[in-house]
Each structure stands twice: as C-alpha cells, then as structure tokens.
Amino acid sequence: MSTRLIPLEDFFRNAQEAAYQLSPDGRFLSFMAPYKDCMNVFVKPTTGGEAIRLTSETERSIGGYAWADDDRLVYVKDHGGDENYALYGIRPDGTDGRAYTAFDGVKTVIIDDLEEVPGQMIIGLNRRNPEVFDPYRLDLNTGELTLLAENPGNWQGWTTDHQGRLRAVTAIEDGVNTTLLYRPDDTEPFKPVLTTNFRESVNFMEFTPDDRLVYAATNLHRDKVALVLMDPADCSEIEPLYEHPRYDISSITYSRRRKKLLAVYVTGHKEPIRHYFDDEERQLRERIQAHFPGRRYGVADSNKAETLYIIYVGGDRTRGSYWLYDATTDKAEKIADIAPWLHEDELSEMHAVNYTTRDGLEIEAYLSLPAGLTPDTARGLPVVVNPHGGPWARDVWGYDSEAQFLCNRGYAVFQMNFRGSTGYGRRFLEAGYGQWGLKMQDDITDGVCWLTDKGIADPSRIAIYGGSYGGYATLAGLAFTPDLYACGVDYVGVSNLLTFMQTIPPYWQPMLQMMYEQVGHPDHDRERLEATSPALHADQIKAPLFVAQGANDPRVNKAESDQMVEALRRRGVDVEYMVKDDEGHGFMRQANRFDFYRAMERFLARHIGTDANKRD
C-alpha cells in the first residue's frame, strides 16, 4: 500500500488544466481550468503569454466547448444537471458573447461544427417538439437559425458531407426497426435506402473526398462492427477495409487537408490497436511515440494545416499531461499536467485480467490493487466491485480517479465488462438483452467468485458500488445475492424497472420500443421486470446501503432512489441517503463530489475497511 494517505480532494478536485484544443489557424491554445471551483474556458497564444478567461461560470462547470472557426469559440451549459444544454459563443479576446439557444426546457445538440464552412454550424433543437430534434443551420455572426428539415418524429443521427450538406439521416421505425434515408444533395427529399432491426447497425462515419461514397462502420452480415467502403445510395458494400477478430472498431482518422482516410482505431483490452491506410500517418505516429517511450498517447487536436498537434499522454497511474507537437520540426513541448499534485510512484496499477462465467463466456476485466501489490501477491483484501453504467458502454484500461482513491485507502477495485457491454461484437451485446438482474448480474457474481477463489478477496469484506446501471447492479447484487456483499453504494441507480421505463426523458420516446427489447416490456414482460426490480424485493436486502441521487436527474428519476430508501427504512435496514438539489445524473460540482466521496469513505471504512475490523 502507498506510504502516504493522499487527501481525498486530490483525487476528485477539478483539473488544473484540461480539454486543450487548437484554434484552426494554430494561433491560440484553449483549455478549461477552475474559476471559483467551476471549470471555465481560457485562451492563450500558442507562442506563449498570459491566458484570458472567456467564461465566468460560478454555479456549474461549462459542459463542453469547441472552436467554431478562427474567430469564435462555442460552449454549452445546463442548469442544475437538467441536461437541457444551451449553446453560447464568444470571441478569443473575450468580446461579443452570444447566447444562441438559451431557450427554456430546450436541449441543443451539435450535429456538425462545419469545420470547412467558417461562421456556420448545424445544430439540433427539440424546441418544436420535446421528443425530437430538428436540424438548424446557425449563423454564428448573426445568430440566425435556419430550419433545414422538420423532423417527422423519429429522425435522428444526421450525416453531413464535406460541404456541410445534410445527406443522410436515421429513422427509428416503431422504435425497433431502423431505416436509413439518403439524398444525393440538399435539394432533393430524403428517400429510404435500407431498413434493419436495431440490432444491426450502419453508421456513416465520413464521406469520401468527392462526397459520393462513405466510410461506414457496420455489423451487417457479421458479428463485429467493421469499417467498409459503402455506396450510400443503396448501402451496398463496395469494399471491406478493416475488421478485427475480437473487437468492434471504435473510430477513424481522416485528414481534411489531405482529403484522405488515414487510420482506424480499435479499443483493446489494454493496448490500443491502430490499423493504418497511410504510410505518412504511420510515420507521424511513430515520431510522436518516440518522444514518449513506453507511454500511452493520443492526438487530442490539430490545427487546420495539420502541422501542430495537441498530444495527450497518459496511463493507468496518471491523469495525464498535454504536449504541443510541431510536425515540421519534430519537437514536443509540455503544455500542462492535468493533476500535478498526484505522483505516479504513489498510485496503483490497473491490471487487465480475464475470467470465465458459469456458462462459458469470457469476460475482460480490470483489477486495481493497493500500490505495490500484484494479482500474484494480493491476498485477503477488502474489495470494491464496481460494475460500469450504461449498461451499453464499457470499461477501459487507464487512469480511474475512483479506483485510485479506493486503492489508496487499502481496497482492491474490480471492474468487469459483463455481457451487454459494447465493443465486443453483436453476439456479446445481445447476450445482455433482457438480462438485467439475471445473466448480466451473474457475470458480476462470477467475477466476485473468481476473486475469492484466487484468494485475492476477503469473502467477508466485499462491497459493490456503481452509478446509473452500475447503481442498479449494486441494488440487484444486494437483493438477489444478499450473502455475497457486506455493503453497497448506489449512485443515481435504477431500482424499479417498471417505474424507470415510465420516467425516461422525452427525447428517448422514439427509442422506447427498442428499450422494451433491450430491458423488457412493462406489460408483456411484467413478471420478469417485477422479479428483477430490487425495490420490489427490498425485503431480501440485509447489507447496509448508501444511496446518492441528483434531484434534477432526467435519466434516472429521483423517485427511483426514493422508493428504494423508503422500502428499506420501513424494514429498519441501515441506509444512508444523500440528495443534491443542484445536480442531475451524476455530481458535477466539486463541493458535491467531495461530499459524496467523503461519505463513501466513511461508509466503506465502517463496513469493510479498518473500522470494520474493530466491530464485534
């Protein structure tokens, strides 16, 4: 274990500087940094000099930002975690601040920043109908919004070409089948070209330089999502470009300057997987890697000329640093450390491990151990089992603030990509459909058994903690395997599958039928949903529970936590409940994060930590 107890705040305080970007002309560096405990946007010259703070938010951090063109940045913010993000703009000298879409109860999504069309963006607004987003062309100089198409009620996932024209859109038919609509230019109507079940996917990632064909990510007629060259007029596959035997592809690199597909990226178990289509790109990446031997890096941004690059360098024991790389001189200069107060030699390794479930499925997982321990030397540790949210997401190898904090306090942390996690192909994803609280939960249980069989875990000191779906898995673990866990921490988690489906955000409505197949139908599958809703089986929970919830959560309504807490308290079960009135689906404010993790630290210490050892 680390020789020093690192202050809790050091793990969860705002970054010193983060989210670095380059202006398109390369003259400015932009980043986010704290101002009165909220993350705000700053700009400074690339050549050096003092930074200018462009935003002054003190209630809630900026939700994200980007360069719209050389003369303007845009950013989004919501109110109290309601996720109704509004779009704002400002010039890099701090003048001409604009509120482009500050409409009450309206959410803004960015469809295309139109990198090749200065002064314009294409955005989506659910202003006309809260359930759907209409695409608008936004003039950043005048603020004028031009409606490009009226969403009939089920369109989403727009694709633009290199001229900024809307060329394709996905329609959700009956919430289950998906139709891809296409048009050869923006003067003609959209016409359907392919209809599939939602289990099959076709995602237009980028048009070819002539705007005629597309590079598409698809699992049509295959298990893994592959990269193919496709004709968008009929979705016929012209040429397969890359397919990995174990994983779905994640992203591509495309050069707008050179008008060329450069590479495809795959998220592996630990090491990144890159496949190159261009030798110049391969050589560039090799030169960059030479500056950071043995380190993990990624290209965070570049200028339009593709001569300057912002490089993020990270790993499992650091929040990382940003570097400015000049491709013309092959020089790399450090810009900033994200968290200079943390030191790698005091932090823990994240070990990539595998185990097999009771029905023979191989699960990739991550085991973080107190500093100095390995899976071969760790024995009899208190463990925090941490299933991810989503559930259609996945854990990845790298730095994790929660895991580092818990390891520093003497706990092992176990994270697993149970069935239903993304990135492992269609069969693995679909194996989780209809399995909330069933086989998905068994995968978590089997991982715990793997830890105890190896002697890594002390069977009497195992906790389960997660957020969102991970919160559901926490409650399901306590209710359906009540002897497995000593305690649990539920963070904005689902407790009742029936009420959860009734309180989803309005813009999820077009996907409701799909969710019925993925989770369950409240009428047809009522018996199963009742059987797997922890709130309806609170009488089976006997381990202490800590629940945390944002009052404004649009995804997992506060009623999910309320009913769970009420059911347990009626039975006299020890349950601690933290509600933050200024938060949504997760705590964004620094002070609230500190409160949550302080409470978690005390809770775990009482039940599986050093304090637990002192109990009678």
Give yes or no for a contact between 291 and 12, defined as CB atoms under 8 angstroms apart: no
The edge-to-edge listing of strands for the beta sheet with 191-197 is 155-160, 166-173, 177-182, 191-197
Distance CA 125, CA 135 (A): 7
Q: Can you tell me whether residue 575 is helix, strand or coil?
A: strand
Q: Is 56 a catalytic residue?
A: no
Using the 8-state DSSP alphabet, how is residue 540 labeled?
A: G
Distance CA 70, CA 118 (A): 8
Q: Say how many C-beta atoms besides its own lie within 10 A of residue 271's C-beta.
A: 11
Distance CA 585, CA 137 (A): 30
Distance CA 463, CA 467 (A): 14
Using alpha carbons, list the distances in angstroms from residue 412 to 205, 317, 321, 406, 421. 39, 15, 26, 7, 22
Using the 8-state DSSP alphabet, how is residue 203 labeled?
A: E
Give yes or no for a contact between 396 and 352, defined as CB atoms under 8 angstroms apart: no
Backbone angles phi, psi at 21, to 5 degrees: -140, 160
- Residue position matching structure tokens 């996720």: 83
Nearest to 165 by CA among 114, 105, 216: 114
- Residue position matching structure tokens 């705000």: 40
Distance CA 478, CA 463 (A): 9
DSSP output for 505-524: -GGGGGGHHHHHHHT--TTT
Catalytic-labelled residue, pool 468, 495, 533, 561: 468
Structure tokens at 389: 């949210």
> Helices in 353-496 by DSSP H: which ranges?
401-408, 426-430, 439-453, 469-480
Contacts of 413 (CB under 8 A, 6+ apart): 367, 368, 383, 384, 386, 400, 402, 403, 406, 407
**H/E element, 29:** strand 28-35
Q: Is 468 a catalytic residue?
A: yes
- β 226-231/236-242 pair status: antiparallel
Catalytic-labelled residue, pool 162, 244, 537, 585: 585
Distance CA 159, CA 93 (A): 33
34: which strand partners? 39
Give yes or no for a contact between 21 and 66, defined as CB atoms under 8 angstroms apart: yes
Structure tokens at 271: 């090491």
Give yes or no for a contact between 273 and 244, defined as CB atoms under 8 angstroms apart: yes
Find out whether the peptide bond into 391 is cis, omega within 30 degrees of 0: yes
Q: Is 553 a catalytic residue?
A: yes
Distance CA 45, CA 28 (A): 4
The sign one gets for the Cα dihedral 513, 519, 523, 525 is: positive
Backbone angles phi, psi at 226, to 5 degrees: -115, 165
Catalytic-labelled residue, pool 69, 71, 78, 553: 553
* Active-site annotation, residues: 468, 553, 585
